[in-house]
Amino acid sequence: MTGSPLTAALRRASDTRDVVVGRGVLPQAGPRIAAQLGTGPFLVVADDNTWAGAGPRLVASLEAAGCVMAEPLVFPGSPTLYASYDNCEVIKAAMGEATPVALGAGTLNDLVKLAAFELGRDYAVVGTAASMDGYTGAGAPMSENGVKTTRACKAPVVVVMDLDVVAAAPGHLTASGYGDLAAKIPGGADWILADVTGIEPVDADVWAMVQSGVSSALSRPAALAAGDPDAFDGLVEGLCLSGLAMQAYGGTRPASGAEHYFSHLWELAHLGEDHDPPLSHGAKVAVGSLAMCAFYEALLGRDLSRTDLRAAVARRQPWGEIEADIRKLFVGALADHAVRETRAKYASGEELYARLAPLVADWPATAERLRAQLVPAADLAARLRLAGAPSRPEDIGLTGDDVRATFPRAMYYRSRYTALDVAWELGIFDDLVDEVFSGIWP
């Protein structure tokens, strides 16, 4: 373990027992893995690219620690490996009695994570890119028969992140991780609103795990894009802490808010899947984060303390009208999903009044908390651009109108309470979206 933030986070983590982040730490992989998982046999799972970057050194480290090694499973480096269940089955078939060690980033980690879980094994991961916050996360997004779902499974027991290896990864992977960590800015603001309204109180310790280092981790975008290993410490640690926070909290609230629902909806529409490499989750989340930062700018331009709350509650749409609207925006199983999720958070009458009253009564203090958490959309766009990440809808093949159309769908998509719901319940949702696209962004 390195640094007090990781040490503190590991005390509350449910699955992960050891994380090391630093330059030149790859030789520590063998002894750290052996200390937690025994001496094997171990199966290293990689692709041609990650194997070339660190495979022989990882195997040498494990062997030096007295570990027994199975023949490595190395997938082709091109075309890009997909997180599809058939690849998970390949890993399961190759495991035999071995404990797997993933050598790679998001896809390889998810495939090994699920394969290990389904065979009742623990596993370790040696990360090769700062591309996402899922290294220390439980659950694995997986495609099967054309449908993408997140499978419940355990996080790795050991995580090793050598910054020299990570910094040598392709730039688009670093940009993806930068976008994923930037999402903690609007995601944290959404948790503040859920806290004020009494829906989901902030866990102070978990909040600190994620938020305390975000600003510094995002402070050197140009150096990250240039591949400076010394610039990666904060980014990689921040991504690891995000996953550990989700373990500690038992859910994804600490690491995501409405910005992720933009990404999820675009993923369901297969946006960027025909690219090689495919358009990353972090790239789409970056644009979702910009959309939500702009929406917050519009929200913070209102003095909610002057709201006639009784009148706003009286104007609340009845559930039947809302369900009808959802079914206009979604079709089939996704419509049924959105109806269930939205119904779970729907409130009206006295229930809605009680929910919003603290927000309206204490708006100046809440607005101050939100401003301290957020950055203007233009500032975030500039940082993303320097990091090589998408900074406008066109960078991921969308138009401003496409993003605009996603706002109501993102609100309906999940039961998690966000700024979109606050605006919807106050009756100012459409006005705020108009403001976003009439001068604030993009």
Query: Reduced to 3 states, what is the DSSP secondary structure of residue 199?
Result: coil
Nearest-angstrom CA–CA distance, 211 and 189: 11
The two three-digit tokens of residue 266, written as one number: 């675009």
Tell me: pLDDT of 1 over 50. no
Nearest-angstrom CA–CA distance, 255 and 210: 7
Tell me: pLDDT of 180 over 50. yes
The two three-digit tokens of residue 274, written as one number: 């025909």
- State pLDDT tens for residues 297-349: 999 999 999 999 999 999 999 999 999 999 999 999 899 999 999 999 999 99
Indicate the residue type of 240: C
Q: Bridge-partner residues for 159, per DSSP? A: 19, 125
Whether 100 and 115 have beta carbons less than 8 Å apart is answered as yes
Domain ranges of the chain: 4-169, 172-200+254-440
Is the pTM for the entire model greater than 0.75? yes
Indicate the burial class of 54 (C-beta count within 10 angstroms; 0-12, 13-18, 19 or more). Answer: buried
Mean confidence (pLDDT) of the chain: 95
Domain 4-169 has CATH 3.40.50.1970: yes
End-to-end CA separation in angstroms for the chain: 41
Torsion on CA atoms 375, 378, 380, 383, rounded to nearest 10: -140
The two three-digit tokens of residue 391, written as one number: 């900074």
Nearest-angstrom CA–CA distance, 298 and 396: 24
Query: Reduced to 3 states, what is the DSSP secondary structure of residue 239?
Result: helix
- State pLDDT tens for residues 126-179: 999 999 988 998 888 887 765 567 788 999 999 999 999 999 999 999 999 999
Whether 186 and 441 have beta carbons less than 8 Å apart is answered as no
Q: Which pLDDT value is given to residue 146? A: 59
